[in-house]
Amino acid sequence: MKKIIAILFVAIIIAIGVYQYAKRDPLLSMALGINNSEESSAAYREFVQALIDMEDLVATNPAASAEGYRHIMHLLESSLSHTFEEMPAYPEFKRVGTTTVKMLGDNPDAVYYRTAIDPNYRYRISGRMAGAKYFSVSVHDGPGNGYQPEKISRVISSDELNIDSEGNFAFDISTGADNDEVNTENFQISTDAVELLVRFYFEEPHYIASDVWRHVPLDIENLDGIAAPPAPTDASIAEAIRRTTRYFTGHIRLLNGPRGNNPLPAFVSIEPNTLPLPVKPGNMALANADAAYSQAPFVLQDHQALIMRGKMPEARTVSVVLWNAFLQSFDYRYRQTSLNREQLQLDDDGGFTIVIAHQDPGFKNWLDTEGRNFGFIYWRFLLPQDAVDEIKTEVVDFNDIDTYLPDP
């Protein structure tokens, strides 16, 4: 018996020694299943705390209610998809905004992609227009690594590209490209470039963003012949979690944090039911420098409707969409909450009349509020040839709506 006890004691001593050694040896630690994830664990706990902190920030939004949690969950899914496995040396375009992940003022008539880049590399972008009326790559400058971009430093559009008869295109970007060469397909970008936001705009009878049969191909390749990426480590996973946290909290603060002394963009109105003159946003980050915008809140009682009237300008595409307080589009998969020119019925004089109402007025140009008394109206005029005229608005009683509509 004493011999058995002695053997067990020696075995325990040996096991303790192996365990202590294994904790210092990553390979043996992994083989023995010992948890060697101190940095990842700390980063994960920081991420969980950020979720709690962002809940408090969203709860201060007067229009938050339960929809604020939907807003959080959509941004969480986007953050994990875009930044957790993000590696600028090995870029990959990922879709921004779908019917179930709505963020940053999504558009039913557009397909968006995003990727992070590193200005130390050269990249080749290739794809196909797939019927789009316009394609652009907005190059964003900033600190990168999950932080919010600061500005647009360059826009490369389909108008600058050699696109073949089937809609295919390919071009290179780098900090050293010669953009002055005639008909070149090499474009120079800023040495501070960290992110690409791609837009494909459509104008069709059905919403492109909810068409599961339509694929818009887009690829990006690092041209510098780098080796395969290394396997994940505790440190790299911890940094990936922290990068995701920065992306998530940055977007939450962008939409819900105080503006301080920063003025609203000229195309944004805070006066209910009154749209400002559409204007271009300049180099404002996340906006499209080629589009003129007009945004205003709508506030309607149950018995009211809002009439919008205007002249349709010469532009590449035109659309209007309804958003909630968190700049998420209303349900365009099963309702008509957005209209483009292919969907609009023009008046006899070439103008348009649109009704925003809680119920169908029996008029084709109806935007469905989903029964909401509050939301935002957002107009996009892509590449307008001239200044866009004011869009006039009028709140009326829904029971009298026929008197305000053009003759059928």
Write the pLDDT tens digit of every residue in 121-163: 999 999 999 999 999 999 999 999 999 999 999 999 999 999 9
307/348: higher pLDDT: 307
- Specify whether the CB–CB gap between 408 and 321 falls below 8 A: no
Task: Give the strand order in the sheet containing 193-201.
Answer: 94-96, 110-116, 193-201, 134-141, 151-157
* Residue 293, C-beta contacts closer than 8 angstroms, at least 6 positions apart: 265, 267, 278, 279, 280, 281, 287, 378, 379, 380, 381
> CB-side exposure of 118: number of CA atoms within 13 Å?
13
**β-pair type (94-96, 110-116):** antiparallel
116 token code pair: 């992070």
- Specify whether the CB–CB gap between 240 and 230 falls below 8 A: no
For 316-338, write each residue's pLDDT tens digit.
999 999 999 999 999 999 999 99
Four-point Cα dihedral 74, 75, 78, 79, nearest 10: -150
- Specify whether the CB–CB gap between 384 and 310 falls below 8 A: no
314 token code pair: 């010469």
* Nearest alpha carbon to residue 384 among 300, 316, 333: 316
Q: What is the mean pLDDT of the chain?
A: 89
- Any idea where the domains of the chain sit in the sequence? 2-36, 44-256, 291-404
pLDDT value at residue 263: 83
> CB-side exposure of 102: number of CA atoms within 13 Å?
26
- Residue 286 pLDDT greater than 80, yes or no: no
- Specify whether the CB–CB gap between 167 and 128 falls below 8 A: yes
Q: Does domain 291-404 have CATH number 2.60.120.1600?
A: yes
- Specify whether the CB–CB gap between 208 and 202 falls below 8 A: yes
Q: Calculate the alpha carbon distances from 386 to 49, 156, 265, 353, 380 in Å.
A: 49, 21, 20, 21, 14
297 token code pair: 């809140």
pLDDT value at residue 118: 97
Query: What is the end-to-end Cα distance of the chain in Å, rounded?
Result: 103
- Specify whether the CB–CB gap between 278 and 358 falls below 8 A: no
Phi/psi of residue 76, nearest 5 degrees: -65, -45
As a whole number of angstroms, the distance between CA 138 and CA 154 comes to 6
44-256 and 291-404 share one fold: yes
60/214: higher pLDDT: 214
- The least confident of 12-16, 43-47, 223-227, 358-362 is 12-16
pLDDT value at residue 58: 83
DSSP state of 336: -
Q: Does domain 44-256 have CATH number 2.30.40.10?
A: no
* Alpha-carbon radius of gyration of the chain: 26
For 158-207, write each residue's pLDDT tens digit.
999 999 999 999 999 999 855 444 444 889 999 999 999 999 999 999 99
As a whole number of angstroms, the distance between CA 306 and CA 245 comes to 40
